[in-house]
Structure 1
């Protein structure tokens, strides 16, 4: 049963792969004509399957969760600006989540704030298509002689040539 659910979800992702990067009008049209019927069939299958499994089983809990959140799950079909999932956002915060336990050992509030500043600078450099190590090396070379009232001149987009912003893998 779980494999059947995965196959049905994979069909929705196959439609999404076809429309990724296309104009919003095209995405919405294809989603409404192809993905929405697949989603409807998935919902019917989930409702039918729920009657066959224990509601306390892992599969039963997963099906009840999906059915309870159904409007949110199919919202992407109606609005071309919405992605099918939040994987892009999840990938962007992954380093922060992985390091969360380490932040408990920053040593002090000041150490935690310094770590937050460094992570923000690294993230900003990456988002602006700037290699973080080269950026930080340049900042460290210049900061000692740099006037404090011009510190914003050391921000990534002022200091380094900006390339194409980094695109996250799908």
Structure 2
């Protein structure tokens, strides 16, 4: 089994900076509110510093045929900026916390530079899990650990179908109808991506063109 390679989320890293520039929150808290940090403001500007890495096309752009040195240039400048600004701060500065969070994990934050498959944030995964989290009270009625395991399996199958742009209801209905009579050697045909490919190949030519 290959070791797990961490790839950290820029959205979570930037959250600490955003909290320090939330003027409305500071106004509500009055004297207890944290002072607005100029460094945090610079970090979250839409087109500069740490925010620049949050553009959806950045990973693809940085890994599309450019030499390794050039692909690393922009993240290296951001890393240098964080180090330079950190050296100017007092140890009690509030902005040190989000800065150190990124700097201590920079290798894992910059992992997307070497592998364009890596997302800059896990926002998509979190949104996919939101429905499950909202319905968590209902999972207490699974009845047993075995029931909970079955629910987890079904949710995994449904999500896998959606990720492959397959209608989960149509896929499950077809799988359940064919599963008992399908030879073991052909079970792979029921995997969502295989199922979709075989269905598309079986469509009439005029429908495929449409």
1:1-170 equivalent positions in 2, closer than 5 A: 1=37, 2-7=40-45, 8-14=49-55, 17-18=57-58, 20=60, 23-26=63-66, 28-48=68-88, 51-52=89-90, 54-55=92-93, 57=94, 59-77=95-113, 79-81=114-116, 83=118, 85-87=120-122, 90-91=125-126, 94-95=129-130, 98=133, 102-140=138-176, 142=177, 146-147=180-181, 152=187, 154-157=190-193, 159-160=195-196, 161=198
Equivalences, count: 155
Q: Distance in 2 between matches of 1:122 and 1:100?
A: 17
Measured on the aligned residues, the alpha-carbon RMSD in Å equals 3.7
Q: Distance in 1 between matches of 2:52 and 2:190?
A: 48
Extract unaligned runs of 5+ from structure 2.
Answer: 1-36, 201-210
TM-score normalised to structure 1 length: 0.63
Deviation at 1:122, TM superposition (A): 0.9
Judged with a 3 Å threshold, the aligned counterparts in structure 2 of structure 1 residues 17 and 27 are, in CA distance, closer, same or farther, namely: farther
95-104 or 113-122, larger mean C-alpha shift: 95-104
Higher relative contact order (CA 8 A, sep 6+): 2
Deviation at 1:11, TM superposition (A): 2.5
Judged with a 3 Å threshold, the aligned counterparts in structure 2 of structure 1 residues 84 and 39 are, in CA distance, closer, same or farther, namely: farther
